[in-house]
Each structure stands twice: as C-alpha cells, then as structure tokens.
Amino acid sequence: MQLYNKLSALERAALIEEAGKERLTLSFYAYAHITNTQEFRDNLFIKWDSLDVLGRIYIATEGINAQLSLPAEKFEAFKNHLDSIDFLNGIRLNIAVEQDNMSFLKLKVKVRDKIVADGLNDDSFDVTNKGVHLSAKDFNAMLANPNTVCVDMRNHYESEIGHFNGAVTPDVDTFRESLDIIEADLREHKEEKNLLMYCTGGIRCEKASAYYKHKGFKNVYQLEGGIIEYTRQVNADGIENKFIGKNFVFDDRRAEKISDDVIAKCHQCGDPFDVHTNCANDACHLLFLQCDTCKTEMDNCCSTNCKEIHALPFEEQKELRKGQANSNDIFKKGRADHLPHKKDLRNIFEVLKTDKINT
C-alpha cells in the first residue's frame, strides 16, 4: 500500500504534460478535533492519491490545512469525499484566481503539531470564539470606516508585492511575530477601534481573531476566505477592488495578479518588479525579487558570490556544500544585506500611529 509520494517533480510534470488535462488549484482549512492524526493522514493520502491530487497538506489534532491541485474532471469525486467527512462536509473551497497545471508536483500529507505555526498555547483561550467574518462588500465598507485599523496578517515578503489600500503591513518574518507586535501597538485602543484583519485564505485570521478577543479587543473582524475569496467575489459581483498588486501563494505559481499595479521593486536594481525567484545557488536558495534583466546578468543568483558558485561544475558545488548547513538567508525571504533594494526595515507601525490612530 502506497502511503508516500514516489515520483520526482520532473517525472510528475512529464505525466501531467502527457495527460493534457486541465487541473484545478484550490485550498481549504478547518479547525476540528482529530484524535488519530496518523490514521486520518494515511486514509487521506490513499484516497487523494487515487484521485491524482497533488499538494501540501498539514494534519494536526486541531484540524487540517490543505493547498492542492487535482484534475478538473475529478473535482466532484473529490468534493464528495470531503462531504463524507463530518467536519469537512460543505467546507468552503478557495479556488485559485489563476490556474496552472504545474502549481503542485508532489502529494505531501504531513502530520504536524499545528496546522499553522503560531507559537500559541491554545489551552489558554477559546479558539472557537472568533471575530466577525465579512464578505468582500462588507470588508470594503469596514475598510472605509475612519475608526478601523486594517492589519495584514501575512509576512513582509507577501505584503511587499500586494496588499489592501490603507492596510498596515507589519514588517515581520513570521505570523507569530505579528501577533505580539499588533497587540502591543494597539493595546490602548482595544475598545474603541475596529480591528480588521485579512490573510491569504483566512486561516491565520481565524486563529488571530480568537487570540485578540482573548486579549481584550472588543471589535474584531476578519475577511471571510481571505484575499482569494475576496477576489472571487469582486470578479463575480462587480464589487470595487481595494487590493493592489499580487497575492503571494505558497505553490509553484508564487503569486496571483489581483490588480495591474506593480508596487514592489527588484531587490537588485530597484526597477518596478514583483515576481519572486529562488537563488539558483543550491547552497543558498534565497527567495527574492529579481527582474528579467538582473536574472540574465546574475544568472538567476542573488549575489556575485552565488553566481560564481553556481557557475562551477555540479560536483564541485556538491563538495563545497559538504558539511555546510543551509545559509540563514534562506529563511529571510529577501532580507539579505547584499540586496541593495530589499524591503525597508523601518517600523511600519509608525505609519499606523500617525496615519490611523491619530485621525
């Protein structure tokens, strides 16, 4: 019985190309109590592997977080399987704005301590006591309210390429960091301000809203289904789009274009650009923004040093990597000091204090 992926990305890509069938990229999450996570994981893998599902799925005792793709012709069978599981019956599925048959090339179903790394002690508060969920139309109305503070619950490299007009974008590397920063900067406004939050698909706001209510915030709101569902409603119902730029996604597409605005810049030359790439040096793999001109000039590398290493024969590169741990830059997502136009590291909450709280 196969319980793990056995094909390489290249082998899977060839099979997808050969099949020539349209695939759907989608995501969903659900907080629920799962007793036997390993058994649930294994059963899920067996069923989804039979449906040619590919993606990254996390299972924990607190629930499931899934980002995946599957053949469009098998969508109904997939949905029927979800509906056969009590806590997934009727679950909202966030269908990707931009489809790509190669968005995922492996099926990875992993058991984790949590479905989102938040660093919180969930026993200390009621995770079901969540904020008010808002549709795209109601979100726009709340965003326009002068008594509202809108906070992007994503990381700096996500908001750098796209965010809502007027939103505060915390300059953080992790979701956990933003929780403490937001509480600290808004502690004196817990009762009178509307705390409006959004993220990619809603899962981070789901936990954050319960956390902030536990911390004493009275008026907590979140965008239902995140940016993905917001965009669907905007397109379907003719609602004014308040999101500028691209929505960062965690698959091989890297981003979905929500508006035509390019709000970011190449980290190497500073020209307007908003497409992420990974440094071609296997010992680095730093995620950063690199325009086509710099990509050609730097051979898809983030520095001259990486370019020189990448130019070496493969065996020499392997020798250089022996005994070496990954560079810390791999976790910085565009923070590396050698990138002259990396995101400004100023305290973004200075904007909040001057432009929002004092109004």
Catalytic residue positions, numbered = 199
- Residue 263 buriedness (CB in 10 A; 0-12 / 13-18 / 19+): middle
Cα Rg, the chain, nearest whole Å: 21
CA distances to 66, 186, 191, 199 from 182, rounded to whole Å, are: 27, 6, 14, 15
Instruction: Label each residue of 52-88 as H, E or C.
Output: CCEEEEEEECCEEEEEEEEEHHHHHHHHHHHHCCHHH
Buried b (16+ CB within 10 A) or exposed e, 116-155: bebebeeeebebeebbebbbbeebbebbeeeebbbbbbbb
DSSP for 261-327, please give it. Answer: ----B-TTT--B---EEE-S-TTT--EEE--HHHHHHTTT-SSHHHHHHHTS-HHHHHHHHTTPPPP
**Interatomic CA distance for residues 144 and 2, integer angstroms:** 52
**Interatomic CA distance for residues 150 and 291, integer angstroms:** 30
Instruction: Assign 3-state DSSP to the chain and report helix, strand, coil percentages, each to 5.
Output: 35, 20, 45
